[in-house]
Structure formats: C-alpha cells, structure tokens
C-alpha cells in the first residue's frame, strides 16, 4: 500500500526531531501506564466515564446571569445573525438560509411590541376556557395595555407526548404563562412546571375550582402548592358552583333557587396587573431573547451539520494514513509518534473547517495533550486489546505483527478526530478559541466519544476495513471466526 504524505508536518513529524519532542511529552504518562494492569485501566477509565461533567452553560440559560435589557437582547440577535452569515458562506441551501435570515428583522420589531401574550395551559378539565372568558370580560377592558390570552391544548391528555410537546411549544411562545390545576400537583404537572422554570419562562400557578373543596381542604392544598413552587400561586374560582338560596316570606312560605356566584379572580387579576405594569417591557424582551437564542441554536445546528459532512472525510483520510504508518513501522514507540504527528496535521485541517485557526506548533501541543489523555485514560491499551482479540483467531492476520498497531492507530486517530469535532461544535461560532484550548473539556469530550465508539459491532466493522487496507490479500470471510471471539 502506498501512502502519499504531502503535508510538511507529516514528513517532519515522522522525523527524529518530532519523535524526541513527543517522547519527552509522553514519558511520564508511558511510565504510569506500565504500572496498571488491563483490569485496572478498565476500572479507571470506566469510572471516569461516569464522573459528573462540568459543562458550560448553554445559550438557553444565559438569562441566569445576564440582565434582560434591550442592549442584551440586541446583542443576542446580532450573534444569531452572525451565525446565519457564516452558514450562508458555507451551505448551499439558499432557501433555508433565507428563511432563517428573514427572522432577524422580525426579532428587532419584537423589541418594541406593546401587546402582551399570556398563555393559559394545564391539564384536561381544569377550567382554561372559562378562565379566559372571565378574564376577557372582567379584567382585560380595564387594562391600558393590550393583552392577548391564548389557550393551549390540554396537557397530559390521551394524545400523548406529541400533543404535550405541541401545547408546551405554544405556551413557550408567550410572555407569561398561567398554569392551571384544580388540586394538588401531580408529579407530571410538577415536572412540567420545573421544565418551564428551568427554561426561564415566567409563570403563575393558578389553583382553580377551589370552591369545590371544603375550607380546610382548600387551605391545605394551597399551602402544599406554595411550599412546592418558587413562583406565584393564586387560588381562583372562575366559575363557582351554583349555591342554593332560600328566602323566607312574610306569609311563612319559603322560596328556594340556585344562584351563580360571581367569579373569584380578584387575587389573580391584581397580581397580573402588577406584573404587567412593573415588568411588561422586560417580559417582552425576555421572550425576544429566547427567540433569538432559539434562532441562533437552529442556525448553529445547521452549520455544524454542514461542517460535520466536510470533517468526516478528513478524519477517514488521516485514520488510514495513521494505520499505514503504524503498520509499516515495527517499533511500538514510533507507532505512537507517527499517530501523534498525523493527528497534529488533522487538527490543523479540522480547525480550518471549524474556523479555529491553529499554527503547527499549537497543533503539535494539542496532539501531545490528546495522546497523553488517551494514555492516562487507558484508551491506548484498551483499544489494542480489543482489536487484538478481534484479530487473534485469524492466524495470518495476527502474525502480521503490525496489524494490531495499524488498526489501533486508525481507531485512536478516529477518536481524536471525532472528539475535536464535538469540541469545536461547543465553541462560539466566529470566535477563534485556538489560543485558549481547554484541555479539561477536551478530556471530557474524549471520554464521551470513546464510550460512543466502543460497541463490538462497530469495532468488528472497523477492523474489517483496516484489514482490507493493510492486508488486501486476506479474504474478508476469514474474519468471521474472529468476530465470534468478542460477540
């Protein structure tokens, strides 16, 4: 097999100068590796995979630390537009990009919106429709602002999760949410409210139909709701049950009839009025902020898919270059050096795709750090052991000494490439983070990617590809027995 190494760092990296550099950077790690058995490495790396990962906050949680003012929202809109502009320069679907771009001026218009949108949501038969009618007739006419009340489909109905998702999506598009319940919260209701609060939606819990309970029961439920909730809780009776009225006449006769009491919504309307008066503008800005973040996330996901399609062929190219280099070189230490040298050039190429510019020296440093992480996590020995098991029952393949090293080198290069893709995707678009490369975050990403790519079926297929490239004379069918060894 002939492999053309046209990149200067590939040629130089396989030389003695780069070999001395990488040996020095990995010396301590290699010594540590010899002190552990395979079982120890399995336990250590397996335990690390389940450690709690310290992730940076996602865009949807920016409202935790940033004030929701006009300047902040305009900045979020500008960042969304920046991502869309990058996407326009890299993707070919102009229609989809135009649809995303059209949302930018709409968001700027949202900043000055005067209408306030309130969603009324909750489970089935909690009184959503009735409450909206009562609010429209008793409360909305008194307001100076225009309030649009929107009822969502019932949550937790027989339609299932898709219906709930659609109802919540409708509720999330508003400035404020009235979440209705007609009793103490169920676990499902509580989890839904927690989800809305985690996404920074402003809401008020409304205990409707309180008149259907005895006074003591009513007080107990209301207390329970207030203890479980961190948001406002109010009790209402949008349509109280009719009460029997009895009138004793002067002639001794008695008249009885059923009378409809007036709705009990005073506490609700008072708190709503105060909220809209004091925070109406902030509610509009917060809604616009969420929409801007969602637009940015949509454009970022699209951009990441486009870049990922370009990055995967690059990874495949370098993984098989690494396989050929390791297979041709019988010295284990130099196998590692060759893989590290190739990884350095791969880092440069992947960085170019993700607009993260690395110098060759930076790429060398990162390649060394990734190699050190792989050794410390036991990934080098683990991959060699598993791949060796797949090949072991195949006499011709196994005795060809470089086969295990070659396929292992390809596998480790693939892990490095996939980890870099995921790492780059977590970075802010249009911000070059090459000078602030986070090794700790890269290590966490590497563990995650290794866990996703250690399935037996995947490894069997990967070994087949490696053998076809390294030992084309070996028939594919001869690996069947080897597959059973790890099945």
Q: Which residues contact 121 (CB under 8 A, 6 or more apart)?
A: 128, 151, 152, 155, 167, 168, 170, 171, 177, 178, 179, 180
Backbone conformation region of residue 236, classed left if phi is above 0, alpha if psi is from -120 to 50, else beta: beta
How far apart are the C-alpha atoms of 486 and 265, rounded to whole Å?
A: 68
Do 290 and 321 lie in a common domain?
Answer: no
Domain stops at, among 263, 294, 325: 294
Do 228 and 102 lie in a common domain?
Answer: yes
Q: What is the CATH number of the domain that holds 239?
A: 3.40.50.300
Do 119 and 167 lie in a common domain?
Answer: yes
Q: How far is CA 473 from CA 70, 100, 131, 402, 468, in A?
A: 68, 52, 77, 15, 8
How far apart are the C-alpha atoms of 19 and 344, rounded to whole Å?
A: 13
Do 226 and 97 lie in a common domain?
Answer: yes
Beta bridge partners of 246: 256
How far apart are the C-alpha atoms of 136 and 128, rounded to whole Å?
A: 12
pLDDT at 64: 39
Residue 146 located in a structural domain: yes
pLDDT at 263: 95
pLDDT at 337: 59
Note down the domain range covering 418: 309-430+437-470
Residue 426 located in a structural domain: yes
How far apart are the C-alpha atoms of 223 and 331, rounded to whole Å?
A: 73
How far apart are the C-alpha atoms of 385 and 394, rounded to whole Å?
A: 15
Q: How many residues does the chain have?
A: 487
Backbone conformation region of residue 114, classed left if phi is above 0, alpha if psi is from -120 to 50, else beta: alpha
Q: Which residues contact 48 (CB under 8 A, 6 or more apart)?
A: 377, 447
The upper half-sphere exposure of residue 68, i.e. CA atoms within 13 Å in the direction of its Cβ, equals: 23
How far apart are the C-alpha atoms of 97 and 74, rounded to whole Å?
A: 20
Do 283 and 418 lie in a common domain?
Answer: no
* Tens of each residue's pLDDT in the chain, 487 residues: 444 444 544 443 343 333 333 334 434 443 343 333 333 333 333 433 333 333 333 433 333 334 589 999 999 999 999 999 999 999 988 999 999 999 999 999 999 999 999 999 999 999 999 999 999 999 999 998 899 999 999 998 876 777 888 899 999 999 999 999 999 999 999 999 999 988 889 999 999 999 999 999 999 999 999 998 866 899 999 999 888 888 888 888 888 888 889 999 999 999 999 999 999 999 999 999 999 999 999 999 999 999 999 999 999 999 999 888 888 775 555 455 567 788 899 999 999 999 888 888 889 888 888 888 888 878 777 777 777 777 765 545 554 567 778 888 888 899 999 999 999 998 888 676 666 778 788 888 888 888 887 776 777 788 888 888 887 766 455 544 545 544 4
Do 379 and 271 lie in a common domain?
Answer: no
How far apart are the C-alpha atoms of 285 and 114, rounded to whole Å?
A: 11
- Pair type for strands 243-248 and 254-259: antiparallel
Residue 300 located in a structural domain: no
Q: Which residue, among 424, 434, 442, 412, has the nearest Cα to 341 in the 3D structure?
A: 412
Residue 233 located in a structural domain: yes
Q: What is the DSSP letter of 311?
A: H
The upper half-sphere exposure of residue 292, i.e. CA atoms within 13 Å in the direction of its Cβ, equals: 31
Sheet containing 176-181, strands listed edge to edge, beginning at the edge strand earlier in sequence: 147-151, 116-122, 176-181, 203-207, 232-235
Residue 337 CB neighbour total at 10 angstroms: 26
Name the strand (E) or helix (H) holding 292: helix 266-328
pLDDT at 400: 55
Residue 1 located in a structural domain: no
Q: How many domains does the chain have?
A: 2
Do 231 and 88 lie in a common domain?
Answer: yes
How far apart are the C-alpha atoms of 423 and 417, rounded to whole Å?
A: 10
Q: Write a three-state SS string for 427-458.
A: CCCCCCCHHHCCHHHHHHHHHHHHHHCCCHHH
Residue 223 located in a structural domain: yes
Residue 369 located in a structural domain: yes
Name the strand (E) or helix (H) holding 308: helix 266-328
Distance of CA 134 to the CA centre of its chain: 40
Do 393 and 270 lie in a common domain?
Answer: no
Do 421 and 378 lie in a common domain?
Answer: yes
Q: What predicted TM-score, i.e. pTM, was given to this entire model? A: 0.76
Residue 52 located in a structural domain: no
SS3 assignment, position 49: helix
Do 258 and 368 lie in a common domain?
Answer: no
Do 210 and 184 lie in a common domain?
Answer: yes
Do 269 and 155 lie in a common domain?
Answer: yes
């Amino acid at each position: 097999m002939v492999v053309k190494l046209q990149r200067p760092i590939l040629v130089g990296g396989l030389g003695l100068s780069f070999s001395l550099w990488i040996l020095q950077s990995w010396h301590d790690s290699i010594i540590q590796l010899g002190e552990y058995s395979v079982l120890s490495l399995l336990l250590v790396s397996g335990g690390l995979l389940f450690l709690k990962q310290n992730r940076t906050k996602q865009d949807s949680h920016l409202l935790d630390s940033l004030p929701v003012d006009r300047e902040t929202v305009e900045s979020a809109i500008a960042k969304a537009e920046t991502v869309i502009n990058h996407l326009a320069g890299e993707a070919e679907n102009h229609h989809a990009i135009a649809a995303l771009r059209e949302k930018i001026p709409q968001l700027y218009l949202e900043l000055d919106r005067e209408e306030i949108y309130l969603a009324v949501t909750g489970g089935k038969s909690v009184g959503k429709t009735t409450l909206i009618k009562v609010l429209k007739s008793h409360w909305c006419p008194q307001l100076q602002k225009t309030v649009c009340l929107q009822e969502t489909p019932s949550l937790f109905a027989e339609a299932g999760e898709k219906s709930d998702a659609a109802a919540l999506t409708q509720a999330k598009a508003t400035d404020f949410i009235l979440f209705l319940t007609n009793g103490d919260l169920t676990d499902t209701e509580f989890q839904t409210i927690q989800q809305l609060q985690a996404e920074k939606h402003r809401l008020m819990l409304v205990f409707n139909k309180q008149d259907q309970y005895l006074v003591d029961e009513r007080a107990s439920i209301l207390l329970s709701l207030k203890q479980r909730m961190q948001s406002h809780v109010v009790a209402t009776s949008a349509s109280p049950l009719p009460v029997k009225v009895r009138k004793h006449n002067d002639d001794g006769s008695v008249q009885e009839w059923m009378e409809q009491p007036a709705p009990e919504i005073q506490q609700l309307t008072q708190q709503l009025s105060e909220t809209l008066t004091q925070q109406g503008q902030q509610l509009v800005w917060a809604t616009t902020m969420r929409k801007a973040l969602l637009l940015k996330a949509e454009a970022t996901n699209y951009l990441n898919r486009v870049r990922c399609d370009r990055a995967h062929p690059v990874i495949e190219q370098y993984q098989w270059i690494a396989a050929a280099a390791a297979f041709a070189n019988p010295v284990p230490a130099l196998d590692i050096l060759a893989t590290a040298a190739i990884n350095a050039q791969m880092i440069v190429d992947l960085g170019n795709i993700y607009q993260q510019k690395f110098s060759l020296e930076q790429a060398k440093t990162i390649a060394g750090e990734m190699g050190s992480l792989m050794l410390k996590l036991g990934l080098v020995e683990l991959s060699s052991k598993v791949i060796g098991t797949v090949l072991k029952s195949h006499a011709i393949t196994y005795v060809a000494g470089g086969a295990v090293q070659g396929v292992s080198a390809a596998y480790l290069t693939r892990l490095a490439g996939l980890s870099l893709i995921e790492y780059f995707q977590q970075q802010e678009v249009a911000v070059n983070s090459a000078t602030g490369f986070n090794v700790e975050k890269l290590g966490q990403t590497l563990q995650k990617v290794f866990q996703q790519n250690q399935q037996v079926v995947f490894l069997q297929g990967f070994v087949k590809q490696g053998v076809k490239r390294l030992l084309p004379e070996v028939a594919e069918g001869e690996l069947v027995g080897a597959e059973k060894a790890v099945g």
